[in-house]
């Protein structure tokens, strides 16, 4: 009885202390959300600096205008704040696109050369926007590197490799694909484009082309299947889809990029 009494007293004491601690807004005191945002901005800048130091960043008004014509409507039509986002084009033969922390998206010249139409690029951008909006980059970084690494800010080389490789889990990729369909539909771009992109990647996966974007993702054939299933479910019978830029503008863009 003596032991039971002491045990109960200790249990009540610990429970009371916990209840007392629960009354405090620790998230506010430790500025958890603000610190996460600061960390995301810091990481975004850090990785961007590393990517830019490794590859040439293409800055050309005409190219930027065309890319913005594809990218901005996707954000605006989905009520996503444009000012948070930045799109960068880097000179690299790899067919790759990736989202960085702090809403920065990087696409390669190899990707533009690989794609046949602006719709396909819009589909890939919608997928990357979904990764940003769902905070997949930070979630995956926390999962892969743990809080220690993130808080100490060390091992950025590994972080950069991880982000450029974009090895998200299947669950997150599916989530981004499904979200991308909604974004495309909302922006009046045919969501089937995303399925077509997957078919395109599927066809080229065995070729010599360095398709980094897809090699680290789930099988394109599987993705094409569930994307098509979701597109069929969309209530968009009367909807008229438009292409973000004309075929001529897209081909001009590819030519300009090739000259760079």
Total interface residues for another protein by CB under 8 A: 21
Residue 23 CB, shortest distance to another protein, in Å, is 9
Residue 135 CB, shortest distance to another protein, in Å, is 8
Q: Report the alpha-carbon distance of residue 242 to residue 136 in Å, rounded.
A: 29
Q: How far are the Cα atoms of 12, 103, 136, 220 from residue 172, in angstroms, in the given order?
A: 42, 16, 7, 15
From 55, 84, 128, 147, residue interacting with another protein (rule: CB under 8 A): 147
Residue 51 CB, shortest distance to another protein, in Å, is 25
List the helix and strand counts (H, then E) for the chain.
Answer: 13, 4
- Tell whether residue 143 is a contact of another protein (CB under 8 A): yes
Is there a contact between 243 and 121 (Cβ–Cβ < 8 Å)? no
Q: Which of 207, 205, 160, 170 is nearest to 43 (CA)?
A: 160
Q: Would strands 86-91 and 104-108 be described as parallel, antiparallel, or unpaired?
A: parallel
Q: Which stretch binds another protein (CB under 8 A): 52-60, 65-73, 140-148, 158-166?
A: 140-148
Q: How far are the Cα atoms of 2, 86, 95, 193 from residue 183, in angstroms, in the given order?
A: 66, 17, 22, 12
From 12, 32, 151, 221, residue interacting with another protein (rule: CB under 8 A): 32
Q: Which stretch binds another protein (CB under 8 A): 14-22, 176-184, 191-199, 226-234?
A: 14-22
Question: Which residues lie near another protein (CB under 8 A)?
Answer: 2-3, 6-7, 10, 14, 17-18, 21-22, 24-27, 30, 32, 139, 142-143, 146-147
């Amino acid at each position: 009885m003596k032991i039971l009494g002491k045990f109960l007293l200790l249990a009540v004491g610990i429970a009371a202390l916990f209840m007392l601690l629960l009354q405090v807004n620790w998230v506010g005191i430790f500025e958890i959300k603000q610190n996460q945002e600061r960390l995301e901005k810091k990481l975004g800048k850090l990785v961007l600096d590393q990517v830019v130091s490794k590859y040439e960043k293409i800055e050309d008004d005409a190219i930027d205008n065309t890319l913005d014509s594809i990218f901005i409507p996707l954000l605006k039509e989905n009520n996503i704040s444009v000012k948070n986002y930045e799109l960068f084009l880097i000179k690299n033969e790899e067919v790759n696109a990736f989202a960085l922390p702090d809403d920065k998206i990087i696409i390669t010249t190899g990707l533009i050369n690989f794609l046949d139409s602006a719709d396909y690029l819009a589909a890939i951008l919608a997928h990357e926007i979904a990764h940003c909006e769902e905070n997949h980059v930070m979630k995956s970084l926390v999962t892969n590197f743990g809080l220690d690494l993130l808080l100490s800010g060390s091992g950025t080389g590994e972080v950069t490799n991880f982000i450029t490789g974009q090895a998200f889990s299947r669950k997150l990729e599916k989530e981004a694909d499904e979200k991308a369909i909604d974004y495309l539909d909302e922006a009046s771009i045919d969501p089937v484009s995303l399925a077509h992109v997957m078919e395109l990647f599927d066809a080229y996966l065995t070729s010599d082309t360095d398709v980094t974007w897809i090699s680290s993702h789930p099988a394109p054939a599987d993705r094409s299947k569930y994307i098509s299933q979701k597109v069929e479910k969309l209530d968009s019978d009367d909807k008229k889809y438009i292409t973000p830029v004309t075929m001529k503008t897209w081909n001009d863009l590819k030519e300009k990029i090739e000259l760079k």
